[in-house]
Amino acid sequence: MNPDHPYRDLWCTGCGYCHRIPIYCGNRFCAACSAHTRQKLYSKLSHVTRELRGDHGQRWRFLTLTVPNAHDPRVQVETLIQTFRKLRQRQWWKRLVTGGIAVIELTKRETGWHAHLHLLALSAFIPQHQLSNQWNSCGGGKIVDIRLVRGTPHISYLCKYISSEACTEEHQQDASDALKGTRLLIPFGAAHSMIAASPPAAFPCPHCGTTAWSVLSACLAFIDHYGHSP
């Protein structure tokens, strides 16, 4: 735990256990914030993959889309988002894909900044050569990948791209600045409305299992006024 990072103390209403959670500092790759953020995103992704239903024969697939390298990371991010928007507007895509969630990976290479879009998509079978041609005609290049999802590892795989695991420490601040204002999760299709409606992640107390928490400062004020805990 970074002692210089701001935290908020939560109080378990069941047993009084104190749990510290980081206050988001604005750095997308902050190590202190990452674990808490991954937990919340994992809950949202699990909800969508569990509840979203598609047409008969559709399966969850893991897709990777990329664009040519650029020296300006912000240009990479904007190009990736705009190209993906063009792809989603095509009837070919709408016919095959019910919905899903995407996240952006941004890394620094010798040839410049390299951006990937990683997607969990509920879809019918997508021939790789067709996806490559469609993505290329939207301006994204031909490098794509499609894999059938088995189990839940791909959820953790997506979540890591919003943490410090996704970018070397040397380039984390530049990458964070380039991603400023960009959503951590990019829902599309039928998954768009499900993200907002997904229930909050339930964090059980490690001592008693209670999932109800209060801000510690509020609890201390209550005790100071009434002489006992709420």
pLDDT per residue as tens digits for the range 66-102: 999 889 999 989 999 999 999 999 999 999 999 999 9
Read off the pLDDT of residues 185-195 as tens digits, 9 standing for 90 and up: 889 998 888 87
Distance between CA atoms of 49 and 101, rounded to whole angstroms?
9
Above 70 in pLDDT, residue 8?
yes
Number of Cβ within a 10 Å radius of residue 88: 15
Residue 225 confidence class, pLDDT cut points 50, 70, 90: very low
List, as one string, the DSSP characters of 130-173: HHHHHHHHTTS-S-EEEEE--SSHHHHHHHGGGSGGGS-GGGHH
pLDDT the model gives residue 50: 83
Range with the largest mean pLDDT of 22-31, 98-107, 170-179: 98-107
Read off the pLDDT of residues 144-165 as tens digits, 9 standing for 90 and up: 999 988 766 577 777 776 655 5
Closest-CA residue to 74 (of 230, 167, 178, 162): 178
Over range 168-194, report the average pLDDT. 83
pTM score, whole prediction: 0.77
CATH 3.40.1310 assigned to 33-201 = yes
Q: Where are the alpha helices (DSSP H) in the chain?
A: 31-51, 73-88, 91-96, 128-137, 153-159, 172-178, 192-197, 216-226
Above 70 in pLDDT, residue 59?
yes
**Domain ranges across the chain:** 1-17+205-230, 33-201
Above 60 in pLDDT, residue 221?
no
Closest-CA residue to 202 (of 194, 193, 192, 212): 212
